[in-house]
Every structure is written in C-alpha cells, then in structure tokens.
C-alpha cells in the first residue's frame, strides 16, 4: 500500500507550504565501522549469465568508489545437480558460463572470501506476465520537494496476479538507462486480481525525449523481505515512518546484500 | 451502603465515637462565573495543620470536634474568605470567591495553604491553572496545554511536529489523557503541530507522572486529567479570538441562574483558505484544516444532586488534489451525576463514551478507488465514592467497567479495483477496575495516600485468535460471542507518603504499579494519525510499569519560591516494537509483526517556581535516561529510546509591567533525540546505501529556542474586555533540525553529505481576543 508514502508526502506538503522549511548541509561526526562484505547476486530466467558482485562497505566520509573484492571462490548450484565455479569477468564481478536460471528452480550460492564462508539460496518463481506499462501526464508540478518542471508523469504497471498463491514482485525503473528507483510489492491485498499499480516516486524528473524502462521481476519471499525492509534507510526525522535499519538479508554469514533468482521482463516507453 | 460505611468506619477509625464531632461540607465556586473551584483550600485557623482541599467537583467536607472555628477559604488569584462557625451540628456551607483585584500589588494577602506543595502527599504532579499560563508565548497564537506541560520537568516533546508528550521515559501512547473523564486517544492535530485541547474550553489540568492514585488506570506512563469549563451560571458571555491561522469562539451562560450553566467553544484553523488563494490548481484543490468543538452543561437539581453533560468532537481533514484524502478525529461524551449522600459521603457516577477513527482514501480513476477505515471506541461506566471519614482519613473507592471495540481496518474498494476488500474482525475487550484508597493524615508530620487497584482484562469473542511462533501463525482458536479468549488480572498497589518536616520542608516517597492492555502500534516514536491500537491477547501481554520516586520539597520566602527535587526509577515490562519492514495496514496477523522486550527509565528533576507576585515563572531541569531492550533489535542489547534526552532545561518568565502590559519569555534547551545514523555505506542495485550498526547510537543536534510574548489589555470593563497578544517564536532564529537526511553531494557524486531540514526561524504572530 502506498498510503504511508502519501502520508509522509502530505506532512511534507504541510511543512513546506505552511511552515516554510529550509535545508542546509551540516557536518556530522559519524563513527567508522568495520568493513563489511557486500554480496549482490542475481540469477535470471532468460538464459542470461548469472552475476554475483562482491564489494566492500566504506566509511561515510570516504569516496563512493567502493573497493571490489577480487579472487573470491564463488560457486552456484541448482536443485538438478548442476554446479559451476564462477569466473571473475571484471574486478569483483563473477559470472556463470553455462548455468542459467529456469522457472521453479532452486539455486544455491557459496562464496569463500578472505577467510569467510557465505551462503544463500533462492527459488526462481514462475513468471507472471507484465501486461503493460502506462505513462500518463498529470497536470501541474510533481509536488513540493520534487523537481520544478511544468509537467509530471504518473507511471503505472499492470499485471494479473495468479490466484491462491503467494506472489512477490520487484519493479526497477530506469530513466535513460540509469537506475532510479525500486519497488517491492506482494499480493496480500490483491491476490488473483488484475493489478494496476502506480510507481510512486515524488522526485522523478522525466522530460520529453527520455527513455523510460521498467523491469518487472518475480521474486521469492526472502528477496521481497529484503527490498521491503529497505524502507526508509536514508534519514531520520519526525515525519519518517521507521527507525532506519539494515535490510533483512538472505545471505548467511554476511550482514549486507542479497541473492535473488528471479524472472525478468522489461517494457520501454519514450516520453513524447 | 450504610452497613458498608459503618464497617469501613470501624476499620479505619477507633476514635470516631469517642468525641462529639460534626461536619462542615459544601461547594466552593467563583462568585462571578459560578465555576466550581477544584483544589480550593479550606483551613481551620484555630487548628494549624488541619484543612482540606476541594475535590474535582469543588466539594469539600471536614469533620471537627464541637467548638467555635474560623474557616478560611482560599484559592490562588482570589480573595480569601474567613467565616466564624459555631459547630454544634452538621453544617452545609457553600462559599463564593471573588477574583483578587490586588494581583498587581507588590504583596498580596497570603493564605496559609500556599504551601500546599509541601503538605500534600502528591509527588510527580504538575497542576496547571489556565489563568497562570495565559501570558506564555505561543506558536501561531495557539495556546497549547500539552506544549506548556513539556516545559515542566520530566515531560518531553521530540521536537516540532512530533505530537504529544513523553513522560518520564514512557511513550506518547502510554499517557492516559482524560477530558472530563473520557479517554482521548489522539491528542494531535496537523501531524502534531497542535494539540486537540482548545485552551478556551479548559478549566484545570493535572498531570501525574506515573504516581496517580488508585482511581486511575489503563496506561503505564502518566495520567493527564483535563477538566472542561462549566460555563458561567450568572451571566451570558461571548468570547473569542482571531489569530493568524485559527479563530475561536465561545458562548456561555446560565441555564437557570445559580442552578445551571452551559458552555460551547469552537475552534477552526483556516490555513486551507490561504491555499485556496493560490492560482495554482494543484495547491488550491488541497484541503488542510482541523476544528474542535467542546460543549458542556450542568444543572444543580437540588443541594444534593447535580448533573453534568459534556462532549467533545474534533477532526482533521486533509486531501491532496482529489487523489488522496485523510481525515481523523476524536469524539467524547460524558454524563455525570454528583450525589451528596450525607455530609461525609459524596459520590459520582459517570457514563462515558469515546472514540477515535481515521479514514484514508485513494482515488485513481472514477472506478478505481479504495478507502481504509479504522475505529477504536469504548463505553465506560464509573462509580466512585468519596467518604470523608474524619479529619484524618478520606476514603475513595469505586469501580469502572470499560467495554472496548476495536475495528482494526476495513478496506473498501470500488467495483473494478485491483484490491480485494478486507474486513478485519472487530476485537472486543472488557477492562474492569476495582479500587480503594485512603488519604490518611496520622499527625501533622505525615500524610499518606495508600491504595490498591485490581485491574482485570478480558479479550472477548467472537473471533479467531492466533498463536505465533517466530512471527508465523501456528494455531488458530475460534471463540463465539461472549466467550472469553484471554484474561489477565493484575493487582496494582499505589503508595504516596509525605513526611512534613515543617511548614516549608517535606520529603516524599512513592511507589506505583500501572498496567496497560491497549497498545498503540507505531512505526517509530513519532505518531501518525493512522497508528493502530490493539488489545492484549494470548501473545501480547499487558504492559506493566513499576515506579519508585523520592522527592524533596522546600519553600522559601513565605512560599513565594517553591523548590522541588525528585528522582525516579521506572521498570517497564512487555514493551512492543515492530519488525523491520512490518506490514501493519489491514493485516489480520499483525501480532506476528511485533517484537517484545522491556524498558527502563530513570532521572533527576529539579524545579524552582515563583508562583506569586508581578513576576512569576519557573526554571526546570531534568537529567534522565530511557532505554529499551527488545529481542530482535540491536542484537538484544539495551539501546536509548528515541525520546531519551540527557539534559532538558526550561525557563519560563512572566512579568506584569503595569495594568496594560505584561511580557513573557520562555527558553528551552534539550539534548538531541537518540537517532540511528549510518556508520558506513555500500553499493547495491546501483545505489549507494547506508550501513547501520547501533540502534539510536547517535544524537540529533541539541535543540534550543527562545520565545517572547507580550499581552496588551486594550479595554477592561465589566461589559467588554479585549486584548492583543504578540508572540515571537524562535526569537534568535535557531535552525533546529527537523530531519537529517544523507544524500549524494551535488558537487561531487563520489561523496555523501548530511542535509538538515529546519522549519522555523522567527515566527511572529498576533492574536486579538475579546469577551463581552
């Protein structure tokens, strides 16, 4: 449900219109933390190679060029007995040659890196068709805090949720190839229905000529919980919905990252 | 009844028959308005240390040996009355006090009970008389009693727009807020920028910081008992005020002179009217306002019977471009009957209703919309006796029985919606309380209030109740209508003891246990209107708090300066929090999303108050800590609760320059709230994300602010009064942090910066008030 976003949005509307708020950059002395291994693993259903990225966390005041983890031993296997040691194709990026995902398959990840052993598993769900991607122009500005362009677009996705089973979805939005935002949905409230969902994103800046791509993924429960628990991880304040925390990872032995076997279907619209 | 009172008499007094004794009793009220005076003092001049205080209905009763006495009646800001009484039979004496016209003079006549803070056994209590705070500077001209309470020790706010108050480390939802005995579930308007209490409608309020006597129960942190004005039973009056964002109007007058009166007050904000002025369709189509309506009537049937009827309704309405709307509000209603059985036995019977509801609606197309509605309501029957046994013992006993209905969420959808309608089952719960307390004054050095409350809770059918293991349902039990699903019975002892060393010094100690069976589920400590209440169940145990406190009370210069120092320690059991990413909307199995643990809070509070004279005000300081330990959060280690603020200072000063002008200032300072900031960052899914280590391991920047106010009395005659109030909020323009966000540096995308959002620098306001 999007109502939390709406409530936060309304409270910020109130704050901005009525109370006239301002922002400024401040110095905060943040602690340093022990470097963490970050694993991002994706197994695709469309015969693309599976890719596991391994990197490290950095302290807050350090650069966003995060250190890559090289020379790890990464093994991927499935419930049919196939297994493969992945090859490091570029620093910190490990890919399969033969093993690809199929719908309904179970996938197991084993990583040995710097004396640590990490593992995870994920089930690749059956595909639910991405029926359509709808972009409509809404009149007026996006909203307070959003870009001040004269027009705003509402983006909706349509799919038909299969009845009587638990389904989890993730949508990834790209504008001109750049990843903009992520959404995770379940079917708790719309099991078995034709779903028409707005991708709510108040800071979206879409202009004529832009290419909008939306990828629909069917994911398993643990991956849904990972993305759903991302919640609000960027700041704190009275209008925020929850105390920030690390998302619930499905990787054993690590605090950060996820391993997702998922379907993938992309739709594209050029804004006119 | 007589048999019971005879039995109680036997139990509590062996001297009652030894001497010939008679009782003086009656009601004390304001001569001009007829309002009864809660807390007015009755002193017997010939017997130092003997006296009593009017109860919540202005009623007093005092029993003395046969003799001649001088009865002295006093109340702050009023001229005292002395009356010679020859006591050879039971006497009923009603008194009417006149406003003290000498308030502005240097020295005012002192009544002996100005040291009530010393000689009362009450500890951890703040009393606010609305007259005393009239001149304190305010935000947007809205006098907000909850904001004023946060200027007293042990009471905290978590900043602008967070709503409510946090008392001695408890949460907002652990305060029992009563308006004429009815529970007010949500005390915030406009996301917490204002409270639901229109100060024009309020007569008196009292906050017990976890030390409430046995007649109060149901919340573990504090009791805020607010009494509404009764209305003038002498003359008709219309009053009101016009401010920058809201206006108020009140009408009061006699129903039958001297016998009954009514009062109706209303308040509405008009921020949305400014939105309508905007040429931008997206702004002028938005709605954003709230209103409050308070009404009260009372009628004195005869000397022994009086009835009251009071009600409140307030609502926030907001909508965004016809696409989204949210509205919420409280409704309360109270019917009360005061009955004087005899000069020693007073009773009050109340039937109370209150509810809170919210509706969220989202409309996308004409045929595709949904709304979510949630309600909590209760009916409460309360029957209480006060038995003024003798001048050493006053007994209070009674029961209350409260039936709660919670409608956790009804999701209604239009025909072609992509959402399935959901109707969560209603939950029914019965809370009963049986209580007894005695206010005992064994001699002039000791004052003791001891009591006990037996609280019982029943979760009632019909409904399916779930059992959980690791958040997953393991078992479902169905109950039929009237069947009891779960019962909790807890005995809550209450004890307050004062040792009065002399007329200006006392030491006090208190122990109190409180329990709570209705729990607010919220994502963080900031409340939103859509927070959900749940009742105790098989999985959710009653919250229990035990508090001990010690206090030292000292008055200087003839009670002109009052000092208090208190320390407390509070243990809290069965505290709730939510899992990361919890689904709380329209979720039948919401209990599976909960985490359980405990809490502790301790602190030291100082207050120095100057209560009388042309200059008055107070300075308060609190040193405190409040922590939680929840399984599943912070690796099970103790962590500071969000509202944990180490230091908290408030200074309040009001000075009457002359008959035309009075000026005021407040200054507050507190350590920033405990917050969770990142201790590192990493990249995932093409985004930079933050790595968190400790829960609430960081602090917001310290909060401080100076507000100035001035009141000019334009006209003051018997027929017409008017005044102008000026306020300057945040006078030195401190940029207090409202939120802190971490974002990519716009100048250097490889870096991350912290961005502070702040709301107000200098908010001036002006309010015109009138009364005729």
Provide the pLDDT for residue A133: 92
Greater model confidence, B199 or B221: B221
Mean pLDDT comparison of A25-29, B334-338, B714-718, highest-scoring range: B334-338
Per the CB < 8 Å rule, is A140 touching B585?
A: no
Search chain B and give the residue with CA nearest A196: B418
Overall average pLDDT of the B124-140 stretch? 79
Q: Please say if the pLDDT value at position A167 is more than 60.
A: yes
Report how far residue A72's alpha carbon sits from residue A115's, in angstroms, rounded to the nearest whole number: 10
Provide the pLDDT for residue B108: 43
Per the CB < 8 Å rule, is B691 touching A31?
A: no
Mean pLDDT comparison of A217-231, B325-339, B711-725, highest-scoring range: B325-339
Spatial contact of B123 and B551, defined as CB atoms under 8 Å apart = yes
Report how far residue B571's alpha carbon sits from residue A262's, in angstroms, rounded to the nearest whole number: 48
The C-alpha of A106 sits at a distance from chain B's nearest C-alpha, in angstroms, of 22
Look up residue A143 and give its two tokens. 């909203």
Provide the pLDDT for residue B112: 43
pLDDT digits (tens, 9 = 90+) for B348-394: 999 999 999 988 887 766 566 778 888 999 999 999 999 988 888 89
List CB contacts (< 8 A) between A248 and chain B.
580-581
Out of A229, A248, A257, the one facing B684 most closely (by C-beta) is: A257
Report how far residue B240's alpha carbon sits from residue B201's, in angstroms, rounded to the nearest whole number: 11
Q: Please say if the pLDDT value at position A143 is more than 60.
A: no
**pLDDT confidence tier of residue B464, bands split at 50, 70 and 90:** confident
DSSP labels, B562-606: EEEEEEEEEEEEEEEEE-TT---TT-TTGGGGEEEEEEEEEEEEE
**Pairing mode of beta strands B680-684, B345-365:** unpaired
CA-based nearest residue to A214, from A125, A133, A124, A128: A133
Q: Please say if the pLDDT value at position B761 is more than 60.
A: yes
Provide the pLDDT for residue A231: 61
Buried b vs exposed e over A164-173: b needs ≥16 C-beta within 10 Å? Answer: eeebbbbbbb
Q: Which residues pair with B269 in a beta bridge?
A: B246
**Cis amide linkage into residue B252, ω under 30° from 0:** no
Out of B581, B587, B735, the one facing A231 most closely (by C-beta) is: B581
Out of B288, B418, B680, the one facing A57 most closely (by C-beta) is: B680
CA-based nearest residue to B770, from B710, B728, B719: B719
Mean pLDDT comparison of A184-188, B209-213, B577-581, B587-591, highest-scoring range: B209-213
Overall average pLDDT of the A259-269 stretch? 93
CATH number of A130-245+262-270: 2.60.40
Overall average pLDDT of the A104-112 stretch? 94
Per the CB < 8 Å rule, is A244 touching B690?
A: yes
Out of A20, A35, A242, the one facing B524 most closely (by C-beta) is: A242
Out of B190, B749, B757, the one facing A237 most closely (by C-beta) is: B757
The C-alpha of B288 sits at a distance from chain A's nearest C-alpha, in angstroms, of 8
Overall average pLDDT of the B413-417 stretch? 76
Q: How many CB atoms lie within 10 A of CB B288?
A: 22
The C-alpha of B707 sits at a distance from chain A's nearest C-alpha, in angstroms, of 17
List CB contacts (< 8 A) between B282 and chain A.
139-141
Q: How many CB atoms lie within 10 A of CB B221?
A: 27
Greater model confidence, B528 or B736: B736
Q: Please say if the pLDDT value at position B87 is more than 90.
A: no
pLDDT, mean over chain B: 86
Provide the pLDDT for residue A180: 67
Look up residue B16 and give its two tokens. 């009652």
Greater model confidence, B646 or B584: B646
Q: What CATH topology corresponds to A37-123? A: Immunoglobulin-like (2.60.40)
Q: Which residues pair with B254 in a beta bridge?
A: B261
Q: Please say if the pLDDT value at position B11 is more than 50.
A: no
Weakest-pLDDT range from B408-417, B477-486, B567-576: B408-417
Provide the pLDDT for residue B5: 52
Provide the pLDDT for residue B110: 44
Q: How many alpha carbons fall within 13 Å on the CB side of residue B133?
A: 25
Greatest distance between any 2 Cα atoms in chain A: 63
Overall average pLDDT of the B106-132 stretch? 71
Q: How far is CA A106 from the centre of its chain?
A: 21
CA-based nearest residue to B28, from B39, B44, B17: B39
- Residues of each domain in chain A carrying CATH 2.60.40.10: 37-123
- Which helix or strand (DSSP H or E) is residue B468 part of? strand B463-469
The ipTM assigned to this model is: 0.89
Overall average pLDDT of the A123-135 stretch? 93
Overall average pLDDT of the B267-283 stretch? 71
Q: Which residues pair with A57 in a beta bridge?
A: none
Out of B283, B422, B695, the one facing A189 most closely (by C-beta) is: B422
pLDDT digits (tens, 9 = 90+) for A53-66: 999 999 988 888 89
DSSP labels, B686-724: TEEEEE--STT-EEPPPEEEEEEEEEEEEEE-SS-EEEE
The tokens 């009023």 sit on which residue? B78
CA-based nearest residue to A171, from A264, A53, A101: A264
Spatial contact of B296 and B279, defined as CB atoms under 8 Å apart = no
The tokens 């407040």 sit on which residue? B666
The C-alpha of B460 sits at a distance from chain A's nearest C-alpha, in angstroms, of 27
Per the CB < 8 Å rule, is B368 touching A233?
A: no
List CB contacts (< 8 A) between B584 and chain A.
none
Cα first-last separation, chain B: 47
List CB contacts (< 8 A) between B753 and chain A.
25
**pLDDT confidence tier of residue B257, bands split at 50, 70 and 90:** confident
The C-alpha of A123 sits at a distance from chain B's nearest C-alpha, in angstroms, of 19
List CB contacts (< 8 A) between B420 and chain A.
189-193
Provide the pLDDT for residue B331: 95
pLDDT, mean over chain A: 82
Q: Please say if the pLDDT value at position A135 is more than 80.
A: yes
Search chain A and give the residue with CA nearest B323: A6
The tokens 């500077």 sit on which residue? B137
Search chain A and give the residue with CA nearest B364: A198
List CB contacts (< 8 A) between A241 and chain B.
523-524, 528
Mean pLDDT comparison of A262-266, B103-107, B245-249, B746-750, highest-scoring range: A262-266
Out of A7, A28, A258, the one facing B530 most closely (by C-beta) is: A7
Query: For residue B192, what are the CA distances in angstroms to A162, B245, B602, B758, B767?
Result: 42, 15, 26, 16, 21
Q: Please say if the pLDDT value at position A147 is more than 50.
A: no
**Helix/strand/coil (H/E/C) assignment for every residue in B325-377:** EEEEEEEEEEEEEEEEEECCEEEEEEEEEEEEEEEEEEEEECCEEEEEEEEEE
**pLDDT confidence tier of residue A144, bands split at 50, 70 and 90:** very low
Provide the pLDDT for residue A238: 38
A to B CB pairs, distance under 8 Å: 256
Q: DSSP assignment, residue B110? A: P
Spatial contact of B450 and B494, defined as CB atoms under 8 Å apart = yes
List CB contacts (< 8 A) between A169 and chain B.
none
Provide the pLDDT for residue A20: 58
Provide the pLDDT for residue B158: 77
The C-alpha of A268 sits at a distance from chain B's nearest C-alpha, in angstroms, of 19
Report how far residue B681's alpha carbon sits from residue B679's, in angstroms, rounded to the nearest whole number: 7
pLDDT digits (tens, 9 = 90+) for B17-64: 456 888 888 888 888 888 888 888 888 888 877 788 888 888 898 888
Per the CB < 8 Å rule, is B756 touching A236?
A: no
Angle at B598 between CA B596 and CA B600, to 5 degrees: 155
């Amino acid at each position: 449900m999007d109502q939390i976003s709406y409530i936060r949005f309304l409270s910020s509307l109130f704050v901005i219109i009525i109370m006239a708020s301002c922002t400024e950059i401040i110095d905060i002395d943040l602690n340093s933390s022990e470097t963490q291994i970050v694993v991002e693993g994706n197994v695709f259903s469309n015969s693309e190679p599976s890719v596991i990225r391994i990197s490290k966390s950095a302290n807050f005041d350090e650069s966003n060029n995060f250190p890559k983890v090289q020379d790890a031993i990464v093994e991927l296997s499935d419930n049919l007995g196939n297994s493969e040691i992945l090859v490091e194709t570029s620093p910190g990026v490990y890919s399969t040659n033969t093993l690809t995902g199929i719908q309904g398959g179970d996938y197991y990840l084993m990583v040995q890196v710097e004396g640590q052993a990490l593992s995870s598993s994920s089930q690749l769900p059956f595909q639910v068709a991405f029926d359509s991607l709808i972009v409509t122009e809404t009149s007026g500005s996006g909203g307070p805090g959003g870009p001040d362009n004269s027009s705003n677009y509402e983006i909706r996705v349509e799919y038909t949720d299969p009845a009587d089973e638990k389904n989890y979805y993730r949508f990834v939005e790209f504008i001109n190839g750049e990843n903009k935002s992520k959404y995770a949905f379940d079917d708790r409230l719309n099991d078995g229905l034709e779903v028409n969902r707005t991708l709510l994103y108040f800071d979206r800046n879409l202009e004529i000529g832009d290419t909008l791509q939306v990828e629909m993924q069917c994911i398993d429960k643990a991956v849904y919980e990972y993305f759903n628990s991302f919640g609000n991880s960027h700041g704190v304040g009275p209008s925020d919905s929850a105390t920030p925390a690390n998302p619930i990872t499905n990787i054993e032995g690590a605090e950060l990252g996820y391993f997702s076997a998922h379907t993938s279907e992309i739709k594209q619209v050029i804004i006119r | 009844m007589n048999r019971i009172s005879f039995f109680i008499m036997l139990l509590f007094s062996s001297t009652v028959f030894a001497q010939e004794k008679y009782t003086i009793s009656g009601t004390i009220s304001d001569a001009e308005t007829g309002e009864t005076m809660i807390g007015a003092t009755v002193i017997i001049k010939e017997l130092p240390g003997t006296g009593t205080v009017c109860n919540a209905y202005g009623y007093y009763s005092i029993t003395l040996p046969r003799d001649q006495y001088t009865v002295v009646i006093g109340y702050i800001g009023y001229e005292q009355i002395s009356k010679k009484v020859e006591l050879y039979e039971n006497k009923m004496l009603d008194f009417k006090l006149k406003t003290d016209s000498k308030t502005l003079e240097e020295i005012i006549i002192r009544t002996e009970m100005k040291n009530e803070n010393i000689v009362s056994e009450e500890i951890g209590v703040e009393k606010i008389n609305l007259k005393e705070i009239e001149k304190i500077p305010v935000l947007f001209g809205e006098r907000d009693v909850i904001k004023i309470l946060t200027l007293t020790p042990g009471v905290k706010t978590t900043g602008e727009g967070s709503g409510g108050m946090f008392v001695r480390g408890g949460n907002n939802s652990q305060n029992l807020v009563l308006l004429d005995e009815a529970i007010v579930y949500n005390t915030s308007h406009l996301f917490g920028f204002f409270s639901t209490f229109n100060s024009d409608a309020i007569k008196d309020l009292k906050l017990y910081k976890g030390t409430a006597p046995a007649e109060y129960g149901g919340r573990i942190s504090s009791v805020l008992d607010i009494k509404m004005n009764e209305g003038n039973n002498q003359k008709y009056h219309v009053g009101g005020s016009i401010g920058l964002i809201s206006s108020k109007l009140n009408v009061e007058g006699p129903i039958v002179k001297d016998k009954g009166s009514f009062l109706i007050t209303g308040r509405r904000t008009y921020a949305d009217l400014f939105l309508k002025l905007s040429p931008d369709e997206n702004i002028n189509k938005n709605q954003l306002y709230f209103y409050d309506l308070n009404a009260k009537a009372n009628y004195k049937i005869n000397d022994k019977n009086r009835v009251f009827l009071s009600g409140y309704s307030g609502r926030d309405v907001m909508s965004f471009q016809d696409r989204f709307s949210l509205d919420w509000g409280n409704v309360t209603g109270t019917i009360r009957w005061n009955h004087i059985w005899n000069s020693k036995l007073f009773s009050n019977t109340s039937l109370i209703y209150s509810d809170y509801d919210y509706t969220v609606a989202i409309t996308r197309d004409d045929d595709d919309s949904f709304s979510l509605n949630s309600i909590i309501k209760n009916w409460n029957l309360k029957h209480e006796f006060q038995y003024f046994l003798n001048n050493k013992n006053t007994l209070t006993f009674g029961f209350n029985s409260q039936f709660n209905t919670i409608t956790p969420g009804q999701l209604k959808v239009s025909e072609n919606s992509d959402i399935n309608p959901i109707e969560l089952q209603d939950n029914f719960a019965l809370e009963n309380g049986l209580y007894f307390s005695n206010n005992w004054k064994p001699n002039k050095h000791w004052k003791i209030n001891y009591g006990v409350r037996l609280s019982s809770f029943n979760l009632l059918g019909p409904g399916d109740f779930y059992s959980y293991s690791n958040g997953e349902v393991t078992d479902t039990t169905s109950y039929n209508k009237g069947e009891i699903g779960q019962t909790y019975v807890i005995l809550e002892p209450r004890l307050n003891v004062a040792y009065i060393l002399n007329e200006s010094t006392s030491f006090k100690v208190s122990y109190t246990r409180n329990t709570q069976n209705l729990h607010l589920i919220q994502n963080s400590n900031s409340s939103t209107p859509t927070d959900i209440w749940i009742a105790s169940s098989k999985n959710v145990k009653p919250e229990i708090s035990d508090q001990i406190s010690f206090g030292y009370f000292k008055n200087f210069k003839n009670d002109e300066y009052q000092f208090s120092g208190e320390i407390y320690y509070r243990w809290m059991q069965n505290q709730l929090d939510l899992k990361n990413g919890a689904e709380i909307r329209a979720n039948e199995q919401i209990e599976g999303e909960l985490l359980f643990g405990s809490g502790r809070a301790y602190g030291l509070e100082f207050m120095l108050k100057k209560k009388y004279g042309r200059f008055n005000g107070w300075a308060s300081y609190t040193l405190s800590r409040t922590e939680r330990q929840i399984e599943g959060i912070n690796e099970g280690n103790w962590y500071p609760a969000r509202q944990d603020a180490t230091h908290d200072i408030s200074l309040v000063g009001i000075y009457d320059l002359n008959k035309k002008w009075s000026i005021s200032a407040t200054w507050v300072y507190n350590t920033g709230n405990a917050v969770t900031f990142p201790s590192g960052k990493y990249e995932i899914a093409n985004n930079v994300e933050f790595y968190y280590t400790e829960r609430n391991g960081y602090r917001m920047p310290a909060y401080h602010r100076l507000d100035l106010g001035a009141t000019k009395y334009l006209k003051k005659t018997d027929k017409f009064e008017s005044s102008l109030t000026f306020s300057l909020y945040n006078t030195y323009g401190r940029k207090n942090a409202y939120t802190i966000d971490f974002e990519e540096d716009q100048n250097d995308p490889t870096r991350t910066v912290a961005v502070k959002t702040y709301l107000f620098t200098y908010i001036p306001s002006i309010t015109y008030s009138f009364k005729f």
